Structure 1
Amino acid sequence: MANIKSQKKRVLTNEKSRMANKALKSEVRKAVKKAKIAKAEDAANKVELINEAVRLLDKSQSKGVFKPNKVAREKSRLMAA
């Protein structure tokens, strides 16, 4: 554990951001998985799920959770499917 007051604060801040990033990553993974396994017959629902996944991917990239290339790759794979 840190001895310096500012480092103690930093440890707490880092833990908060780690948990927020973890939650957003989990949400993105769930959305991408739902979009991938959506039924082909229900095209309108599949498009809606893909749009939601793309929105979450963009949001996570802007917050620095995922790198731009990973987001582009995931979006490309969703669109190809």
Structure 2
Amino acid sequence: MANSAGSRKRARQAEKRRQHNASLRSMVRTYIKKVAAAIDSGDKAAAAEALKVAQPIMDSSVNKGIFSKNKIARSKSRMNARIKAMA
């Protein structure tokens, strides 16, 4: 357990930041799942629209340091490829 006042404050700040980051990470994952669900349903227009909504949210998560740049780029690339491959 933290002893000094400064280290107690740091522990509080770290916990608050952890919860905030977890919330943002969860939100991004939800949008990714929405795109995947639209792709699985077979509706190309709905899938493209879901990706269009998800992309800026995914990009902002990179800027906030929630996910790495390469992970989000890879996810977007794979989703885009799956949408283009639809009939």
Q: TM-score w.r.t. structure 2 length? A: 0.83
2:68 and 2:43 map into 1 onto residues whose CA distance is 33
Aligned residue in 2 for 1:32: 32
Give me the CA root mean square deviation.
Answer: 1.2
Q: Show structure 1 runs of 4+ deviating over 4 A.
A: none
What amino acid sits opposite 2:15 in the alignment?
Answer: E
> What is the count of residue pairs matched by the alignment?
80
- Segments of 5+ residues of structure 1 without an aligned counterpart are none
Aligned residue in 1 for 2:47: 46
How much identity, in percent, do the aligned residues show? 40
1:54 and 1:28 map into 2 onto residues whose CA distance is 9
Q: Does 1:20 align with 2:38?
A: no
- Segments of 5+ residues of structure 2 without an aligned counterpart are 83-87
Deviation string 1:38-71 (CA, Å, 9 cap, x unpaired) is: 133351x222210122111111100001111111
Structure 1's 42 and 69: CA in aligned 2 closer, same or farther, altered over 3 A?
closer
1:28 and 1:15 map into 2 onto residues whose CA distance is 20
